[in-house]
Amino acid sequence: MLNIVELLIETFGKDCVLTREEAGMRVASNWHQHKNLDCLALLRPATTEEVSKMLQICNEYNQPVVPHGGLTNVVGGAVTKPNEIALSLERMNVVEEINVLNKTATVQSGVVLQNLQKITAKNGLLFPLDLGAKGSCMIGGNIASNAGGLHALRYGVMRNLVLGLEVVLADGTVISSMNKMMKNNAGYDLKQIFIGSEGTLGIITKAVLKLEDLPKSRNTAFVALESFDKANQLLEFFKHHSKNSLTSFELLWQDYYTMMTSPPSFFSPPLPQTHSFYVLIEALGQDAAKDKVLFEDLLERSLENGLIADAAIAQSQQELDWFWGIRENVELIFSVHAPVFLFDVSLAISDMDEYIKKIKSALQYIWADVHFYAFGHMGDGNLHLYVSCGNNDVSTRHLVEETVYKPLQQIGGSITGEHGIGLEKKPWLYLSRTPEEIQLMKTLKKALDPNGILNPGKLLPG
């Protein structure tokens, strides 16, 4: 009798099935590329039918399968064990339709986010999801992780951008829910179960995505502020007066801004490093001339009424890259301070300042020389924290995580705003979800994947 890898090769051919040795030439993660894949085999289906047949076989063999998108998640969500089979969507990379009139895109789940952005732009439309890993991450991975990114403030997270989905269940059943309408109240909205399910409930093969008009103007500025309260007032001021064009409001605490604009960073500071807070504000609009005047007027009024202390407006693509580079070049923290723990907590804006002060002093109390950086999508209530205390053994990790996560429970925050649970945050899920919620998640998992073959060990505690 054939073993499962032999059977898969016989059924789908060598091109579709990489052996352990062949798969081992690839990296296990595009986030930290130091480890190679070590899995039983890697499947590369080209069609939904192939995904369905592959899962049918794996289900019959009780064979664990880990879906792979662009492998850019930062929570160990696609970690594949030596006895597990990886299933990569990389060959299902076709944009099947751009419907200009309805403003929808129908895509296979292996389409790389940046490629979709380029194709929609050529059609005068915008797919609004945007994030640092856009050159590698795939739409299926974005949906499975319910990605947030840099434009969520205006356009919402991935959950808000998906109109329809095609998903293959663990037993090979294809659920086609390729809805194209904004409104469809015919029973449960099944696609929402799979969005953010991190590969544990089904394999996403296709999606219908919502598009927006391609912006004709982009106005971006770095501003400096003296207090968190002023940043909050500035956010409200821009929300009320920017005619719905405010797209990003990224807050940087002083330590992070200074780090990102001092050697060995190759970015110089657009504003002096002496202020307590910095915000990268971006507005996208439809009228280049009027939008520029409005944006500059709002900044001028913010300066006059003392909300901001200083401002620098990006005047060219080079300056845009410079400003966004300061916000996004997080790799620098890893290169200078490794080992580093990364967090993406979510909490009410009104709790942010106090929370950051509290955990910073708690961390400093334990590790006097801790490096702590805070920044993120203030407008969405989602912050990224980087903590380095010289060690990353199990007990240190636990203590850092406990210090960062525990205070969130009291204020109703979440341990993750956009990165998801994966392997890394699983022990802390109980802080953000009730026992009843976790039980219902387990019931769903059992109903959709009774043999537990899809991405086992991720998201749900045992």
Ligand X SMILES: Cc1cc2nc3c(=O)[nH]c(=O)nc-3n(C[C@H](O)[C@H](O)[C@H](O)COP(=O)(O)OP(=O)(O)OC[C@H]3O[C@@H](n4cnc5c(N)ncnc54)[C@H](O)[C@@H]3O)c2cc1C
* Binding interface with ligand X (CB under 6 A): 31, 66-74, 77-78, 89, 109, 131-133, 137-138, 140-142, 144-145, 147-150, 198-199, 203-204, 418-419, 455, 458
Nearer to ligand X, 251 or 311 (CB): 251
Nearer to ligand X, 106 or 109 (CB): 109
How many Cα atoms are found within 13 Å in the side-chain-facing hemisphere of 184?
14
Nearer to ligand X, 135 or 412 (CB): 135
Report, in Å, the least distance between residue 331 CB and ligand X: 7
Report, in Å, the least distance between residue 148 CB and ligand X: 4
Helix crossing, 288-304 with 228-241: angle to 10°? 150
Answer yes or no: are the C-beta atoms of 375 and 384 closer than 8 Å: yes
Report, in Å, the least distance between residue 360 CB and ligand X: 22
Report, in Å, the least distance between residue 310 CB and ligand X: 26
Q: Helix, strand, coil: what percent of the chain each, to 5? A: 35, 25, 40
The phi, psi pair for 384, rounded to 5°, reads -105, 135
Answer yes or no: are the C-beta atoms of 174 and 203 closer than 8 Å: no
Nearer to ligand X, 94 or 100 (CB): 94
Answer yes or no: are the C-beta atoms of 130 and 117 closer than 8 Å: yes
Report the C-alpha gap between 369 and 262 in whole angstroms.
19
Nearer to ligand X, 313 or 438 (CB): 438
Nearer to ligand X, 70 or 128 (CB): 70
Report the C-alpha gap between 267 and 319 in whole angstroms.
11
* Residue 261 parent element (H or E): none
CA angle at 123 for the pair 120 and 127, rounded to the nearest 5°: 25
| Summary count for the chain: helices (H), strands (E) | 17, 18
Report, in Å, the least distance between residue 246 CB and ligand X: 17
